[in-house]
Chain A
Amino acid sequence: MSVSAPDIAPKTKPGLKLDLKTVGPLVALALLVLLGISLNENFLSYNNLTNVLARSSFIGIIAIGATFVITAGGLDLSVGSMAAVIAGVMIMVMNWLIPTFGVSWSVVLAGMAAGILLGGVAGVGNGLMITRGRIEAFIVTLGTMGIFRSLVTFLANGGTLSLNFQVADVYRPVYYDGLLGIPYPILVFALVAIGGELIMRRTAFGRHCAAIGSNEQVARYSSINVDNVRLITYILQGVLVAVAVLLYVPRLGSASSTTGVLWELEAIAAVIIGGTTLKGGYGRVWGTVVGVIILGLIGNILNLQSFISPYLNGAFQGVIIILAVLLQRPRRAS
């Protein structure tokens, strides 16, 4: 039986599709690197590159979580405030435990455990309200964003929560030291990125995220437990925020109401620049990593030159975000 004619659906030209959709972020990154080299010979120096990457790793780790949330058709606006609360609570827990355990790694480890636990719980909270409570992700996380932000202000009594100096000295290497010359934050970022890419591309969970973001009904009819997969993306996001905070606390040793402000938007921006679709259905972790580095390099390059005021950093980031989406949009809506 040979009846139905082969499909005569028009195809996008393969060359163009490849250029803009797949390698677009990489091209942008390469151009930025070239620009950086041409502006300042220190750009490629070990110090400059590790500095940029280490600072980018907080947002990067959070953005990898956001990649899963967004791919599954969700959104988490609370990550910046969540980071601040986790940082605050970690500092309080560590300070509080010093009398019991003394100044030691066990205090730091307890603080880390508390942070991870809190991140997971915050993710469960967001996720349950969205899946079981059937409230829009935007609304829920807008709400928790406010709650977390005001909680950290309350805990810090309007000021700053500072980590005990001696404990800070113990904790310090986690940000400032490294392995084989690579700072720990960059190593953790790399590990999370590789793990994230594997999960997104090579596990049923990753496939389910894309399916849900693409069409929730299809996912439901394909026997996917939509609510559970969604919930897990928010928990993953919460835990990854905590991981980022573990690396962030030793950098400054303090938390205040201004900690993590606008991180949620930077994370979302990185995800979008990387080629993940904001309305869900398609996500790529490596793209997000490239997106984060692009955002980091813009600030760095502005600081390395003297023609343009570094105060315009935000404007350049904004332009890049809009350009990225412009280049990645479908050529013609059918």
Chain B
Amino acid sequence: MSDGTSAPMQPVLAAHRISKSFGEIPVLFSIDFDIRPGEVHAIIGENGAGKSTLIKILSGIEQPTSGTITYDGQTIVLPADGKAEAMGIVLIHQELNLAEHLTVADSIFLGRELKRGPFLDTSEMRRRASAVMETLHVRVDPNARISSLSVADKQMVEIAKAISRDARVLIMDEPTAVLSVGETQTLFEQIRRLTARGVAVVFISHKLDEIMELADRVTVLRDGQLIATVGTQSLTPDSIAQMMVGRELSNLYPPKHEPDVDAPVVLSVNKLDAPTVRNISFDLRRGEILGFAGLIGSGRTAVAEAIVGLAPRSAGEIRLNGKVVEFTRVAQSVEAGLAYMTKDRKGKGLLLNMGLRPNLTLLTLDKHLRAGFLDPASEERALERATRRFDIRARDPSVAVGRLSGGNQQKLMLGKTMESEPDIIIMDEPTRGIDVGTKQQIYHIIAALAAEGKSVIVISSELQEVIGLSHRVVVMRNGQIAGVLEGAEITEEEIMRYAAGIKQSGHDERISA
């Protein structure tokens, strides 16, 4: 194990030869891990590598099957179910754990409310909440309801909560998965402020560039094994990726096959107005992959939902293969060969308590009817086909899909969408929160679909992904199309210029080109 340059300091929290099995299934094998005061230590690995289990053990939510944990050099057993927080070890979950109806101040002091006699001392809690937010340079009203905050602000509230508890170790599970570029930078500033005060930060991310930027040391896990813990400066994104998958990742993005110049326009959107977006015009051709870039909240999802009939639209015209269409229900757009795959696979895409089969066929149950009754054998065949085509891995197809890894969930959702045999597929964040290996598979599937003559719209907040896949890129900003990029114009800088409002194409003709 080579070491970073950080001064050899006593680790605040360390795991020694930690192993963990669930029943007979081993998940972690003899992992050594430590975190020093003032350091950012990143954990990376593919989905199912054991990252989540490791941080659950580090925060006391799970107990190791064997091995020991030391805190300040003392061997201890961390109390279960979040009680480690009182000791200064705070885990911030990927799905933030905040009660939506409480105010910011309520949330920060939840479970250890300040009291005056038998009553809540609300003014003092508000004052202290403001003070904490102040130290973080976050402008959030302590009286605001959590439900009214953006995801980024909610995350800041979680961090404020951790700080107000004098957290010494802050463990964050993919904090940037749902943040835009700007919000990520703000988060990183906060993390740097914390580490300057001596807080130790453990950080899980799939985004290698972020890790290179933020982390002092990186621990790579693969299939429950510790591959290496190394100082960041001795690494390149390529070498990390290689360690994660155990082989070289060549051509993450498949080669682009430009659609034929005379390929017909299959989807044409003209001056669409819908909630939060206005004056949206663009064309999609047969065999084309059209990227939609922009900051989070720029209206890309709203456009997609208005097109397929999930959201009402107030003006504009949509033509499918030249014919004007008016979808008011999703069933109509699916029927017409236009499918939308949501970015929110847990909230809107999959029934987490059900098995693979009912999830796969939910959109297309009509295909599996025989004399009015469902034919489980036909559904089973569909599942077999999809499992093979999309490489969905589950030990037991009856397991609730909520227990699958993010990558397998995403592939199942893709399978479900493709069951409707659409000609046009709108994929919203098709690789959010999944590992690089599965990403590569999905990229190849998208490219194959386009090569077959399907048309794909890829909405993504990862610039690399948009650039690597798309023939053309629509950049959105504040609910409008800021520009359309083609060919050599498709670069990170150019997209950011449009997305941030530095550049703006003036004419409608240009936009709808």
The residue on A at minimum CB distance from B23 is A10
CB distance from B301 to the nearest CB of A (A): 12
Minimum CB distance partner of B339 in chain A: A223
Minimum CB distance partner of B436 in chain A: A3
Q: Is the CB of B48 within 8 A of A7?
A: yes
Q: Given A4-B46, A8-B224, A11-B399 in contact, is the A220-B330 Cβ separation under 8 Å? A: yes
Q: Which of A171-221 contact B (CB under 8 A)?
A: 198, 201-204, 207-208, 210-211, 214-215, 217-221
Does A225 touch B at the CB level, under 8 Å? yes
Whether the Cβ atoms of B362 and A207 lie closer than 8 Å is yes
Per-residue CB contact flags for chain B residues 328-365 toward chain A (1 = under 8 Å, else 0) read 01110110000010101001111111100010001101
Please tell me if the beta carbons of A7 and B403 are within 8 angstroms of each other in the complex. Answer: yes
Q: How long is the Cα–Cα vector from A7 to B352 in the complex, in angstroms?
A: 15
List B contacts of A4 (CB < 8 A).
46-48, 391, 393, 405, 407-408, 434-435, 437-438, 441
Q: A10 near B435 (CB under 8 angstroms)? A: no
Is residue A308 within 8 Å, beta carbon to beta carbon, of the partner chain?
no
Between A4, A214, A218, the greatest number of chain B beta carbons within 10 A of the residue's beta carbon is seen for A4
* Chain B interface bracket (under 10, 10 to 19, 20 to 34, 35 or more): 35 or more
Q: Which of B403-442 contact A (CB under 8 A)?
A: 403-405, 407-408, 416, 434-435, 437-438, 440-441
* A1 near B373: Cβ-Cβ < 8 Å: no
Interface SS majority for chain A: loop
CB distance from A224 to the nearest CB of B (A): 8
Nearest-neighbour CB distance to chain A for B152, whole angstroms, equals: 22
What string of 1s and 0s marks CB contacts (under 8 Å) between A1-37 and chain B? 1111111111101000000000000000000000000
In the complex, are the beta carbons of A215 and B347 less than 8 A apart? yes
A247 to chain B, nearest CB (A): 27
Interface residue from A1, A8, A13, A225 paired with B329 (Cβ < 8 Å): A225
Residues from chain B with a CB closer than 8 A to the CB of A221 are 310, 330, 340, 342, 348-349
Interface Cβ pair total, 8 Å cutoff: 138
Residue among B47, B245, B362 with the highest chain A CB neighbour number at 10 A? B362
Q: Are B48 and A6 in contact (CB under 8 A)?
A: yes
Asked if A222 is at the interface (CB within 8 A of a chain B CB), the reply is yes
B210 at interface by CB-CB < 8 Å:
no
CB distance from A288 to the nearest CB of B (A): 19
Q: What residues of B have a CB within 8 angstroms of the CB of A2 in the complex?
A: 391
Q: A10-B23, A204-B366 are in contact. Are A281 and B353 (CB under 8 A)?
A: yes
Contact, CB under 8 Å: B354 / A214: yes
User: When the two chains form the complex, which single residue of A1, A7, A225, A281 contacts B404, counting CB atoms closer than 8 Å?
Assistant: A7
C-alpha gap A143/B352 in the complex (Å): 33
Q: Given that A7-B408, A8-B22 are known contacts, is A282 also in contact with B329, CB under 8 Å in the complex?
A: no
Q: Which residues of A contact B396 (CB under 8 A)?
A: 11
Residues of chain B with a CB closer than 8 A to A208's CB: 365
Cross-chain contact A3 with B48 (CB below 8 angstroms): no
Knowing A8-B25, A215-B351, A221-B342 are in contact, say whether A3-B365 is a contact too (CB < 8 A). Answer: no
Q: Which of B351-390 contact A (CB under 8 A)?
A: 351-354, 358, 362-363, 365-366, 369, 372-374
> Is the CB of B395 closer than 8 A to any CB of chain A?
yes
For the complex with contacts A1-B437, A8-B48, A217-B347, 9 further pairs of A-B residues with Cβ separation under 8 Å are A4-B393, A4-B437, A6-B395, A11-B25, A11-B403, A210-B358, A220-B330, A221-B349, A223-B330
6 contacts between A and B (CB under 8 A): A3-B441, A4-B47, A4-B435, A7-B48, A9-B22, A222-B416
Which residues of A line the B interface, CB within 8 A?
1-11, 13, 198, 201-204, 207-208, 210-211, 214-215, 217-225, 281-282
